[in-house]
C-alpha cells in the first residue's frame, strides 16, 4: 500500500491561491494529484481560522 503524502501548509496555501486566481478547481487539483474535496477542506480551514493559524496548525 502506498504511503499518503503529507502536504506542508505552504503547499496547501499555494494550491488554494492558485485555484482562487484561476477559478479552475478540478484542473488545478489534477495538476497536483489531489481530490477536489481535499482542496475544499483546506480552503474551509483557511477561511475559518486564517492563514497564520493554518500555517501553525499544519506545519
Tell me, yes or no, whether 34 lies in a domain.
yes
Judge whether 28 and 12 are in contact, CB under 8 Å. no
The Cα 19–Cα 38 span in angstroms is 12
Grid coordinates representing 39 are 482542496
pLDDT for the residue numbered 59: 57
Average pLDDT, 10 consecutive residues per value, the chain (59 residues): 80 92 96 95 81 63
Q: How far apart are CA 51 and CA 3, in angstroms?
A: 27
In a domain? residue 2: no
Decide if 17 is inside a domain.
yes
Domains in the chain, number = 1
Instruction: Look at residue 5 in the predicted model and tell me its pLDDT.
Output: 84
Per-residue pLDDT, 58: 57
| pTM (two decimals) | 0.74
Residue 1 forms part of a structural domain:
no
Residues of the domain holding 24: 9-58
Residue 9: per-residue pLDDT: 83
Amino acid at each position: 500500500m502506498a504511503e499518503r503524502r503529507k502536504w506542508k501548509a505552504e503547499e496547501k496555501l499555494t494550491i488554494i491561491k492558485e485555484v482562487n486566481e484561476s477559478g479552475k478547481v478540478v484542473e488545478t487539483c489534477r495538476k497536483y494529484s489531489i481530490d477536489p474535496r481535499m482542496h475544499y477542506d483546506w480552503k474551509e480551514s483557511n477561511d475559518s481560522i486564517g492563514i497564520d493559524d493554518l500555517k501553525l496548525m499544519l506545519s
